[in-house]
Amino acid sequence: MTRSRAALLALLTMVALSPTATAHADEGPEQIVNGTFDTGTAPWWGTPNVTLATDEGRLCTDVPGGTANPWDVIIGQDDIPLVAGETYAYAFSASATPAKVGRALIQFPVDPYTQYLSAAPELSVSGNDYSYTFTAPVSLPNAQVVFQVGGSAEPWRFCMDDVSLKGGAEPEVYEPDTGPRVRVNMVGYLPTGPKKATVVTTETAALDWELKNAGKETVANGRTTPRGVDASSGQNTHTLDFSSYKKPGEGYTLTADGETSRPFDIAADIYDELPADALKFYYTQRSGIEIRDDLRPGYGRPAGHAGAAPNQGDVSVPCQPGVCDYSLNVKGGWYDAGDHGKYVVNGGISVHQLMAAYERDKAAFEDGQLNIPESGNGTPDVLDEARWEQEFLLSMQVPDGEPHAGMAHHKIHDQNWTGLPLLPHLDPQLRELHPPSTAATLNLAATAAQAARLFAPYDPAFAARTLKAARKAWAAAKADPERYADPNDGIGGGAYNDGDVSDEFYWAAAELFITTGEKEFKEFVLASPHHTGDIWRERGFDWGNTAQLGRLELATVPNAIPDRARVRQSVTEGAEKYLAIQRGHAYGLPYNPPDFDWGSNNLVLNNMVVMATAYDLTGQEKYRAAVREGMDYILGRNALNQSYVTGYGEVASKNQHSRWYARQLDPELPNPPRGTLAGGPNSAIQDPVAQRLLQGCEPQFCYIDDIESWATNELTINWNSPLAWVSAFLADKGERSDCRVRYTAHGSWPGGFNGQVVIENTGKRTVDGWSLRWSFLSGQRVREGWGATLSQSGSVVTARSLSWNDKIKPGRSVTFGFVGTNASGPNPVPEVFHLNGDRCK
Ligand code: 9MR
């Protein structure tokens, strides 16, 4: 804030004023957020032709010359609440070099932009203070304060400070209702898993705790472990461990320090529905297709952006001016989040994680599981859902013959941000393709290469098309490796800029290598710094940090990279890092930076993906236990005592920022569907609601379940994707089984191969009747077998014992074999075998 300058009173009113009204307004609460620019320029925004910066505690910007209208250059703040009949005092200081006349408006935020206050301050080089009063003629939660400074032939410099709008209702003093001080996973605990809770208390010595069943009988008790002050919440905490109690039941509670937790279950099936719910989310995020109410009661809506007015997309979308001179049909795909934008880099990681969840255990995903229009077509629904996005990603590729052919456009979205609520089919904005980027191109290469191997058994033509697109994208990215998305291209859609795409290169090379086995990709992988570096960031991985995806793929999907053992080992090193963070955390969080990131819940879940993968690779129980404990945080064992997954737990997020699940704004609309993850605590609280209510928040408290809090409470396709992956892991009931499988491909010839499989019983009990399951990498097929009855669905093969070999005594083995049909690309030896549903060690 700068020193006050000589006052100049300019008075303008919409409604006649009295001195009393002015005095009253002056005393009212402040409605502007960060009008003193002490904390940077947020949440102030500017039109794309200006860059906002602070200069000696003021907001300053260089206004370009050559614009025609005042509104060609705007600086503003959104979401200012006005109350009808209330009188407000509006004040600011400003300067212009050289002197200019500006326009100061308080207005309705969208067309017709009704002005409640309109002033034309004469701005001088030395600067002046201005003040006005007006009475609001309407109530609205989201008026705009704007400065229109366009219309000058010459460039000039504008600065402002001490922007203040006083009056109206007292801002709500926000005190989150955090319920009982004993914090649990409100959904429940697995009988054999860890069972921990966190107690918030002023006590520093250990406390007694009791576990009670639904009948209020005490079934276990013990003493808490004091943990001191937890930095992520500012709370003094104890942990409480009741892991030794394993009896299934409903309605358990924990009591400690005179407080009783919310009820929870102990049951083996608590996560059974979550994988499908997390995946069903994608259908109602679809663009370009009607959402059928019979498939999603309450969520039916017309197709969005399918070429029907008032939509201006997405069947023939032009580029931003100067970017290209063609239009593309980019209909389809998923809407990114609560907005109507479609962004290739974010679509990439999302569709990848869905396919990766499938590839982890293909037998767990079936046709008909998700109740989508494609259910019943013989392909697992998760692949059908992934294809909906993959087809969109393919459509974003620059056509042959055009500049940057083979690259992918970074994104497609509205020309301007729209308000809430707005159903997709009602969006009237112009849609535009934004310039191609290397990052988007590599996301296309990576996911299309992955899709090629996964779709081969179901639709070889589509698999061939994706592989061709992946190769073309790879070549285009190699030829243009530093074409970055513009960080300032964030009007009407997110910027999704990323100034380092070496990690996207690594991920794409890894996928292409796994699918093709080719030397070029192998050499690229081996030469990449991401192949050997410590990529396990404490903050986790996300759309902008994708080396981890490549490493996880190379570790888990069979392939012939020479240092595979080291790659696998590196995943456990990452997992150890997250395990150590979790053990040091009183809420069992495997993520603990001093400030929480945008979408922190997805980073928490992605760290859990690394620990889960370490379990898959090693079978070490500590990693699986860590994932189970991590989920407790997401489902209620946290400072806010709430679940971040809609429909899961007694108190759960339900007002995530969305233009169509906008029930908080329009009771006719639904809440987000069951299984929707909220972004979660974000220390930077960039949106006005969070800035108004959460100033000074400790990390875990930087969250509010309000639809307008887009920085803490949005839903996105790339946040539900790790939720789907992790919940599929948690729902996996396969245990480690005492068996060893030796699989040998005996000779191969063009088009075919011989497989021999030996199952050894390494346990102490006779196996009586067996079925062995594995998956091929891609389109390989079993043709005929001996020593077992073989069947195949997609790439999942099941071999069942015959009457003469259905017993395997301890230390003994059985052998069977088959003739297989080969597919293009590598045919690696499968590494994961399930005997009677349990995974061989
Ligand atoms: O998830 C994105 C986060 O990592 C960025 O920090 C943030 C600001 O650029 O944008 C987030 O993505 C939003 C995107 O820009 C627009 N659609 C909604 C996304 C989630 O909030």
CATH number for the domain including 153? 2.60.120.260
- Residue located via tokens 């190769």: 471
Would residue 9 count as lying in a domain?
no
Which residue would you say has higher pLDDT here, 552 or 688?
552
Counting from 1 in the atom list of ligand 1, the atom nearest the Cα of 490 is 15
CA distance 31 to 171: 8
Q: Tens digits of per-residue pLDDT, 215-258?
A: 999 999 999 999 999 999 999 999 999 999 999 999 999 999 99
Question: pLDDT over 70 for what percent of the chain?
Answer: 97
Q: Is the CB of 345 under 6 A from ligand 1?
A: no
Q: How far, in Å, is the centroid of ligand 1 from the Cα of 716?
A: 9
Residue nearest to atom 12 of ligand 1 (CA): 494
Q: How far, in Å, is the centroid of ligand 1 from the Cα of 487?
A: 12
Residue nearest to atom 5 of ligand 1 (CA): 598
Q: How far, in Å, is the centroid of ligand 1 from the Cα of 565?
A: 36
**411: β partners:** 343
Last residue of a domain, one of 166, 198, 222: 166
Would residue 536 count as lying in a domain?
yes
CA distance 456 to 746: 23
89 plus 197 within the same structural domain: no
Cβ contact 503:530 at 8 Å: yes
CA 730 to chain centre: 19
Would residue 357 count as lying in a domain?
yes
Distances in whole angstroms, Cα of residue 193 to Cα of each of 244, 247, 601, 630, 631: 9, 11, 21, 12, 11
Task: Kindly report whether the peptide bond that precedes residue 722 is cis, defined as omega within 30 degrees of 0.
Answer: no
pLDDT at 25: 60
The helix/strand/coil state of 407 is coil
pLDDT at 24: 54
129 plus 58 within the same structural domain: yes
Domains contained in the chain, number: 4
Flag whether pLDDT at 100 surpasses 80.
Answer: yes
Pocket test for ligand 1, best of 287, 344, 345, 346 (most atoms within 8 A of CB): 346
Cβ contact 327:317 at 8 Å: yes
pLDDT at 5: 33
**652: β partners:** 643
Residue nearest to atom 16 of ligand 1 (CA): 494
Q: Is the CB of 498 under 6 A from ligand 1?
A: no
Phi, psi of 52 (to 5 degrees): -90, 140
Mean pLDDT over residues 805-825, rounded?
Answer: 97
Flag whether pLDDT at 763 surpasses 50.
Answer: yes
Would residue 174 count as lying in a domain?
no
Which residue would you say has higher pLDDT here, 747 or 740?
740
Mean pLDDT over residues 38-65, rounded?
Answer: 92
- 22 pLDDT band (50/70/90 cuts)? very low
Burial 310-323 (b: 16+ CB within 10 A, else e): ebbbbbebbbeeee
Flag whether pLDDT at 433 surpasses 60.
Answer: yes
Q: Is the CB of 597 under 6 A from ligand 1?
A: no
pLDDT at 26: 66
323 plus 457 within the same structural domain: yes
The helix/strand/coil state of 231 is coil
Q: Is the CB of 494 under 6 A from ligand 1?
A: yes
CA distance 467 to 512: 9
Q: How far, in Å, is the centroid of ligand 1 from the Cα of 813?
A: 54
254 plus 316 within the same structural domain: no
Q: Is the CB of 604 under 6 A from ligand 1?
A: no
Q: Is the CB of 540 under 6 A from ligand 1?
A: no
100 plus 78 within the same structural domain: yes
The helix/strand/coil state of 310 is coil
CA distance 355 to 427: 31
Q: How far, in Å, is the centroid of ligand 1 from the Cα of 573?
A: 29
Flag whether pLDDT at 8 surpasses 80.
Answer: no
Q: Is the CB of 339 under 6 A from ligand 1?
A: yes
80 plus 197 within the same structural domain: no
Range in 126-130, 392-396, 606-610 with the lowest mean pLDDT:
126-130
pLDDT at 19: 32
- 171 pLDDT band (50/70/90 cuts)? low
pLDDT at 172: 64
Flag whether pLDDT at 606 surpasses 70.
Answer: yes
Would residue 171 count as lying in a domain?
no
Flag whether pLDDT at 375 surpasses 50.
Answer: yes
- 40 pLDDT band (50/70/90 cuts)? confident
CA distance 431 to 434: 10
Half-sphere exposure of 493 (CA within 13 A, CB side): 27
The CATH number linked to 786 is: 2.60.40.290
> What DSSP string runs through 367-406?
TTSS--TTTTSSS-HHHHHHHHHHHHHHHTBPPTTSTTTT
pLDDT at 471: 98
What ranges in 153-258 are assigned the alpha helix state H?
none
CA distance 640 to 701: 7
Tokens for 377?
């077509």
Phi, psi of 227 (to 5 degrees): -120, 0
Would residue 16 count as lying in a domain?
no
CA distance 413 to 417: 9
Beta-carbon neighbour count of residue 534 at 10 Å? 9
Counting from 1 in the atom list of ligand 1, the atom nearest the Cα of 718 is 1
Q: How far, in Å, is the centroid of ligand 1 from the Cα of 435?
A: 18
Last residue of a domain, one of 266, 293, 326: 266
374 plus 320 within the same structural domain: yes
Q: Is the CB of 770 under 6 A from ligand 1?
A: no
Would residue 177 count as lying in a domain?
no
Cβ contact 414:431 at 8 Å: yes
Q: Starting at the edge strand that comes first in sequence, how are the strands of the sheet with 739-749 ordered?
A: 739-749, 752-761, 813-821, 781-786
Q: Is the CB of 716 under 6 A from ligand 1?
A: yes
Tokens for 335?
């809407």
Q: Is the CB of 673 under 6 A from ligand 1?
A: no
Pocket test for ligand 1, best of 598, 606, 703 (most atoms within 8 A of CB): 598
HEC per residue, 41-78: CCCCEECCCCCCEEECCEEEEEECCCCCCHHHCEEEEE
Last residue of a domain, one of 686, 707, 731: 731
Q: How far, in Å, is the centroid of ligand 1 from the Cα of 539?
A: 16
Q: Is the CB of 495 under 6 A from ligand 1?
A: yes
pLDDT at 202: 98
Cβ contact 619:158 at 8 Å: no
Q: Which domain holds residue 140?
A: 25-166
546 plus 659 within the same structural domain: yes
> What DSSP string runs through 319-341?
BSTTT-S-EE----SB--SSSS-
Q: Is the CB of 541 under 6 A from ligand 1?
A: no
306 plus 231 within the same structural domain: no
Q: Is the CB of 714 under 6 A from ligand 1?
A: yes
CA distance 495 to 686: 15
What contacts 821, CB < 8 A, 6 or more positions away?
751, 752, 780, 781, 782, 783
Cβ contact 197:239 at 8 Å: yes
What ranges in 543-619 are assigned the alpha helix state H?
547-556, 564-583, 600-618
Which residue would you say has higher pLDDT here, 26 or 361?
361
Counting from 1 in the atom list of ligand 1, the atom nearest the Cα of 543 is 4
Q: Is the CB of 336 under 6 A from ligand 1?
A: yes
Counting from 1 in the atom list of ligand 1, the atom nearest the Cα of 719 is 1
Q: Tens digits of per-residue pLDDT, 764-797?
A: 999 999 999 999 999 999 999 999 999 999 999 9
Tokens for 799?
């071999």
Nearest CA to 550 among 527, 521, 523, 530?
Answer: 530
Phi, psi of 577 (to 5 degrees): -60, -45
CA distance 267 to 187: 10
Question: What average pLDDT does the chain have?
Answer: 95
pLDDT at 338: 98
pLDDT at 21: 37
Residue nearest to atom 15 of ligand 1 (CA): 494
Q: Tens digits of per-residue pLDDT, 636-679?
A: 999 999 999 999 999 999 999 999 999 999 999 999 999 999 99
151 plus 53 within the same structural domain: yes
Q: How far, in Å, is the centroid of ligand 1 from the Cα of 494?
A: 6
Q: Tens digits of per-residue pLDDT, 495-525?
A: 999 999 999 999 999 999 999 999 999 999 9
Residue 447 has what DSSP assignment? H
- 42 pLDDT band (50/70/90 cuts)? confident
The CATH number linked to 197 is: 2.60.40.10
Nearest CA to 472 among 488, 451, 449, 494?
Answer: 449
Mean pLDDT over residues 681-689, rounded?
Answer: 94
Q: How far, in Å, is the centroid of ligand 1 from the Cα of 544?
A: 11
Counting from 1 in the atom list of ligand 1, the atom nearest the Cα of 686 is 8
Q: Tens digits of per-residue pLDDT, 717-739?
A: 999 999 999 999 999 999 999 99
Flag whether pLDDT at 150 surpasses 60.
Answer: yes
Tokens for 600?
């922190």
Flag whether pLDDT at 169 surpasses 80.
Answer: no
Q: How far, in Å, is the centroid of ligand 1 from the Cα of 718?
A: 10
609 plus 751 within the same structural domain: no
Q: Is the CB of 598 under 6 A from ligand 1?
A: yes
Counting from 1 in the atom list of ligand 1, the atom nearest the Cα of 710 is 21
- At position 834, the amino acid (one-letter code) is H
Q: How far, in Å, is the centroid of ligand 1 from the Cα of 392?
A: 20
Residues carrying an active site annotation = 657, 705, 714
Would residue 175 count as lying in a domain?
no
pLDDT at 1: 53
Flag whether pLDDT at 4 surpasses 70.
Answer: no
Beta-carbon neighbour count of residue 36 at 10 Å? 15
540 plus 675 within the same structural domain: yes
Residue nearest to atom 8 of ligand 1 (CA): 494
